Structure 1
Amino acid sequence: MINMNLKNLRLHHKLTQEEVAYEINVSRQVIAKWEKGESTPDLGHWQALAKLYKVTLDDLVNFDGEDTNLIVPPKGKYFFGVAKIGERGQIVIPKKARDVFYIKPGDSLIILGDEERGLAIVPENMMNEFLNLVKSPLHKEDE
């Protein structure tokens, strides 16, 4: 899994083994061994790789996209899995998503839609914080 994450990220970023090796100050052969699973990076190299690919260290090491054919998500981006819609339109938000976004029972969620891009679910408190940030000073004076 770790070796596949390294290879998939390199290919996704359209980098050669030589380019990755140069960026983190190792030889191309070292990169090849990591990608084959013959050896693993030390902590300093893990950190350099996570920074290079803009992913979290945890995801770089632990992400398992085998079932979904996904690569390690960029830092701050998540794939929480699939939720099925119930007969009355209800969905269950995965626990990890609830934990990351501090969603608890009784919270309100805003459902946004774009016919070309799909649906988005945003906690109401996060939307309110965003709207407060984008209010122009002109509007505040009008109140």
Structure 2
Amino acid sequence: MNRMIGQNILSLRTTQGMTQEELAQKVSVARQTIAKWESGDAMPDLNNVCKLSEVFDVSLDALVHHDEHRVGYPIPPRGRHLFGVVRMGERGQIVIPKKARDIFGLHAGSELLILGDESQGIALQRVEDAVALLERYARAVNERMSADSE
């Protein structure tokens, strides 16, 4: 486990362009402590793992257990997910992975809005979330118009 956490700390630190010294200051430890964690010679205590999780904006689970070499991609930021690859059927159907369905509360009969941007790709959003977003936007516009007319 020391090795995994160390590799994840090193990967996150370098991805974010941070030096060991900068990370040490953010976590309130010595630079040498960061070096020992990254090499697997020592392991951060729970308090420091929590600080690292906050600094890197990743979940504790990802910081401790993510294995970039096994899964093939770096630790995603908190709240971001990579669910894997799906294959489209002959009639355009796809199967949304179970983990994604569980996280986003999707079930048979869920309505999804399909959004597309030719330069960025396709996105799915639950219809009820899109409706709520549009309703909040409409309220904000109405409030702004009311404030401007006063």
How does the TM-score come out when normalised to structure 2? 0.85
User: Of 98, 101, 124, which aligns to 2:101?
Assistant: 98
Deviation of residue 132 (structure 1)? Answer: 1.1
Amino acid paired to 1:78: H
Instruction: Tell me, in whole angstroms, the C-alpha distance in 2 between the residues paired with 1:116 and 1:67.
Output: 30
Structure 1 SS opposite 2:6: helix
Corresponding pairs, count: 139
Structure 2 equivalent of residue 108 of structure 1:
111
Structure 1 equivalent of residue 35 of structure 2:
32
Deviation of residue 64 (structure 1)? Answer: 2.7
Instruction: Tell me, in whole angstroms, the C-alpha distance in 2 between the residues paired with 1:50 and 1:134.
Output: 33
Structure 2 equivalent of residue 10 of structure 1:
13
Closer, same or farther: CA 68–123 of 1 in aligned 2, 3 Å:
same
Query: Unaligned stretches of 5+ in structure 2?
Result: none
Instruction: Compare the two structures and name the one with the higher helix fraction.
Output: 2
Instruction: Tell me, in whole angstroms, the C-alpha distance in 2 between the residues paired with 1:41 and 1:115.
Output: 44
- Is 2:88 the partner of 1:82? no
Structure 2 equivalent of residue 56 of structure 1:
59
Query: Unaligned stretches of 5+ in structure 1?
Result: none
Identity of aligned residues (%): 43
Structure 1 SS opposite 2:78: coil
Runs (4+) of structure 1 moved beyond 4 Å? Answer: none
Amino acid paired to 2:100: A
Amino acid paired to 1:59: A
Instruction: Tell me, in whole angstroms, the C-alpha distance in 1 between the residues paired with 2:114 and 2:70.
Output: 28
Instruction: Tell me, in whole angstroms, the C-alpha distance in 2 between the residues paired with 1:63 and 1:94.
Output: 19
Q: In terms of mean alpha carbon deviation, does 106-115 or 30-39 score higher?
A: 30-39
